[in-house]
């Protein structure tokens, strides 16, 4: 089925005419009859076959800019001024009806979240076919054949079967392939990829980006890549556009910006991006103190089974024989992708579930034998900080109440004593006392994660289990929280168990590491050993998948940059 004119790879002749040209774009959102401008005078160009990355943190206006291009601003959004030229035609003032004729055919979208982006009650095949039906391309039989073709083209095995399946029967990576198939179906001139891999595991992320790259080369499609991940942008984009607060900070060829960033903000972004920095530690006063007090955590041959269908179909082994030791005052990272068993391990260590077999000693106490009141008292020694600072704080409580609650659960302290502790811990996590009367909703992501840390630390625990504690944060905020964690560890002698999927972050903060794959421990040892001499092919793949290695310029002389050791 030929749905569009033959694609041209980027040639010198048509490279002059940009596929997309944005001139002085301004976008506002209405809140209470008041228009607030979130994108100011953004101008950029995307040429045929080129990947331009729109880089910025949350609130930078990168997604709003992308939504404006495809005419899908939120209901309260308004295009204030500026031109959006698609192949020379200004579409900024077009009606919805007119935009419908080019959406899907000339411009298409690869969305961020592959889970929510497919209709759960329709088959994959129907959803891919829909784009042809909307634009009335081909007969029924042609469309059916075209769908199977596309599914095969984006690398899905058994495309006929996939077409009959529903989204929940596919993995995240497979769903993203389906969404890519939809985006490239009509061979559009421009694809907007809005954080296309942020929700995926690193190794899957790599394959999806390769796929987008391959299709772009084959079809000559231009890509506007929206991403918060400077590493991904550095690897994939020809041009970078750095946004902050709705304004372009700087733009230009990727290699140039990486080699000599002109704006302070870009420099900061580059320094904070863990994947680019390859820093050993964020800030390190000196070498680790030799472990004196023995081991804070000892895990021996941990096995965790979950019964399938109430035990009728046997059991699923989530964790299969994991062992590690964490010296007091150090950080041990447990790394793996979704389904690797890392969160299960964390929950067992905190005592939320009884392991099927194995031993877990925390501060010399065998967690697996604790029950009832003893288990409750044990929680004073070990505290958990969750991934999502938005969901882990009760929206109805004030910050004071949130931090006070753990104190109320243990020894009854006089009110003044509690207040003193709360004020002190707030200073520790570097939050102003003024936040105490506020509610989580009014705080930023970074501030919320500091509150979550304060709540965990107010009981003065020995061990903190950090479950993806910085994964939901922007890179600059992430760098600040990692710095704070390091500082707290030095000051309070804390032991961290750091659960993460992000090897780059792990490398920054950990002393030792266990790599999990399908519930098995495939590598372990000091961070240096594992990174420089990975024992398993899986670990090698993980390290290879860290974004930001391709264009990594050997330009930076700042002392915390070290070689990659390859």
Partner 1 sequence: MSRYVIGRIGQAVIVLWAAFTASFILLQALPGDAILIKFLNPELGLGPEQIAEIRASYGADIPLWAQYLHTVSNFLSGDFGYSVQAGVPVGDLLLASLPSTLWLATLGFLLALVVAISLSVASALLPLSWLRSSIQSLPSLFVATPVFWLGILLIQIFSFQLKLVPVISPGPWEGFVLPVLTLAIPISAPLAQVLMRNIDNVMTEPFVAVARAKGASRSWVLWKHVAKNALLPTMTIGGILFGELLAGAVVTEAVFGLNGIGGLTQRSVGHQDIAVLQALVVFSAAAFVLINLVVDLLYPVFDPRLRSREGAVA
Task: Pick the piece of the chain touching partner 1 (CB under 8 A) from 163-171, 227-235, 386-394, 496-504.
Answer: 163-171
The residue (of 33 and 434) whose beta carbon lies closer to partner 1 is 33
Say how many residues make up the chain: 566
CA separation for the pair 4, 146 (Å, rounded): 13
Tell me: does residue 103 bind partner 1 (CB under 8 A): yes
Size of the site for partner 1 (CB under 8 A): 35
Nearest one of 302, 275, 334, 382 to 498, comparing CA atoms: 334
- Asked whether position 109 contacts partner 1 by CB under 8 A, the answer is yes
Binder among 142, 169, 217, 366 for partner 1 (CB under 8 A)? 169
CB atoms inside a 10 Å sphere around CB 30: 13
Bridge partner list, 322 = 302
Q: Does 83 bind partner 1 (CB under 8 A)?
A: no
**Is the separation of the CB atoms in 531 and 507 below 8 Å?**
yes
Q: Give the tokens for residue 227.
A: 């991403």
Of 80, 100, 256, 487, the residue at the interface with partner 1 (CB under 8 A) is: 100
Q: In this structure, what are the phi and psi dihedrals at residue 269, rounded to the nearest 5 degrees? A: -60, -45
Nearest to 39 by CA among 71, 81, 75, 72: 81
Q: How far apart are CA 199 and CA 211, in angstroms?
A: 16
Kindly tell me which of 40 and 62 has the beta carbon lying closer to partner 1: 62
Which one, 62 or 379, has the nearer CB to partner 1?
62
- Stretches 130-138, 389-397, 431-439, 449-457: which one binds partner 1 (CB under 8 A)? 130-138
Q: Does 204 bind partner 1 (CB under 8 A)?
A: no
Does residue 112 touch partner 1 according to CB under 8 A?
yes
Candidates 127-135, 377-385, 433-441, 534-542 — which segment interacts with partner 1 by CB under 8 A?
127-135
Based on the shown chain and the rule CB under 8 A, indicate whether residue 70 belongs to the binding site for partner 1.
yes
DSSP label of 104: T
Give residues 262-321 in contact with partner 1 (rule: CB under 8 A): 308-309, 316
- By rule CB under 8 A, what string of x and - marks binding of each residue 131-160 to partner 1? x--xx-------------------------
CA–CA distance, 495 with 322 (Å, rounded to integer)? 19
Query: What letter would DSSP give residue 416?
Result: H
Which of the ranges 55-63, 114-122, 430-438, 523-531 carries the binding residues for partner 1, by CB under 8 A? Answer: 114-122
E strands within 209-354?
222-227, 239-244, 247-253, 295-307, 315-327, 331-335
Q: Measured between alpha carbons, how far is 503 from 327 in angstroms, rounded to an integer?
A: 21
Q: What's the CA gap between 224 and 227, in Å, rounded?
A: 10
Question: Are the CB atoms for 489 and 329 separated by under 8 Å?
Answer: yes
Per CB under 8 A, does 462 bind partner 1? Answer: no
Binding flag, residue 179, partner 1 (CB under 8 A): yes
Stretch that binds partner 1, among 105-113, 235-243, 340-348, 417-425 (CB under 8 A): 105-113
383 binds partner 1 (CB under 8 A): no
Contact residues for partner 1, defined by CB under 8 A:
70, 72, 96-97, 100-105, 107-109, 111-113, 116-122, 130-131, 134-135, 166, 168-169, 179, 182, 308-309, 316
């Amino acid at each position: 089925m030929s749905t569009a004119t033959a694609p041209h790879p980027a040639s010198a002749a048509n490279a002059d005419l940009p596929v997309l040209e944005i001139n002085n774009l301004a976008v506002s959102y209405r809140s209470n009859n008041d228009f607030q401008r979130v994108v100011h005078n953004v101008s950029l160009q995307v040429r045929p076959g080129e990947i331009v990355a729109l880089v910025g943190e949350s609130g930078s206006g990168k997604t709003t800019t992308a939504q404006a291009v495809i005419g899908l601003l939120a209901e309260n959004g308004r295009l204030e001024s500026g031109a959006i030229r698609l192949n020379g035609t200004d579409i900024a003032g077009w009606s919805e009806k007119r935009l419908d004729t080019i959406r899907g055919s000339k411009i298409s979208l690869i969305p961020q979240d592959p889970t929510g982006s497919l209709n759960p009650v329709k088959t994959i095949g129907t959803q891919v076919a829909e784009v042809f039906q909307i634009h009335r391309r081909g007969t029924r039989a042609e469309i059916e054949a075209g769908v199977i073709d596309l599914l095969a083209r984006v690398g899905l095995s058994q495309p006929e079967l996939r077409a009959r399946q529903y989204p929940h029967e596919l993995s995240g990576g497979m769903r993203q392939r389906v969404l890519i198939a939809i985006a490239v179906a009509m061979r559009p001139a421009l694809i907007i990829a809005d954080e296309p891999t942020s929700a995926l595991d690193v190794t899957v992320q790599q394959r999806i980006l390769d796929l987008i790259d391959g299709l772009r080369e084959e079809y000559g499609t231009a890509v506007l890549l929206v991403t918060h991940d400077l590493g991904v942008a550095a690897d994939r984009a020809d041009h970078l556009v750095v946004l902050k607060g709705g304004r372009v900070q700087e733009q230009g060829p990727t290699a140039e910006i990486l080699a000599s960033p002109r704006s302070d903000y870009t420099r900061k972004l580059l320094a904070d991006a863990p994947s680019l920095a390859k820093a050993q530690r964020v800030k390190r006063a000196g070498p680790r103190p030799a472990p004196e007090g023995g081991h804070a955590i000892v895990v021996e041959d941990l096995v965790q089974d979950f019964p399938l269908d109430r035990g009728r179909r046997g059991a699923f082994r989530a964790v299969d024989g994991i062992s590690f030791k964490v010296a007091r005052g150090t950080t041990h990272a447990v790394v793996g992708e979704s389904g690797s068993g890392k969160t299960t391990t964390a929950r067992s260590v905190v005592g939320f579930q009884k392991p099927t077999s194995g031993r877990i000693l925390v501060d010399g106490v065998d967690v697996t034998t604790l029950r009832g009141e003893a288990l409750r008292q044990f929680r004073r020694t070990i505290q958990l900080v969750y991934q999502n600072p938005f969901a882990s704080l009760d929206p109805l409580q004030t910050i004071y109440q949130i931090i006070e609650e753990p104190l109320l659960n243990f020894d009854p302290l006089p009110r003044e004593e509690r207040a003193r502790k709360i004020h002190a811990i707030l200073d520790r996590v570097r939050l102003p006392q003024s936040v105490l009367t506020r509610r989580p909703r009014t705080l930023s992501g970074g501030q919320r994660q500091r509150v979550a840390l304060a709540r965990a630390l107010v009981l003065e625990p020995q061990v903190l289990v950090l479950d993806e504690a910085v994964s939901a944060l922007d890179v600059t905020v992430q760098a600040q929280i990692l710095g704070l964690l390091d500082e707290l560890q030095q000051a309070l002698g804390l032991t961290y168990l750091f659960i993460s999927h992000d090897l780059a972050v792990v490398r920054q903060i950990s002393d030792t590491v266990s790599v999990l794959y399908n519930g098995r421990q495939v590598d372990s040892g000091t961070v240096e050993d594992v990174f420089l001499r990975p024992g398993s092919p899986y670990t090698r793949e993980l390290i290879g998948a860290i974004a930001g290695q391709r264009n990594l310029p050997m330009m930076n002389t700042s002392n915390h940059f070290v070689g990659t050791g390859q």
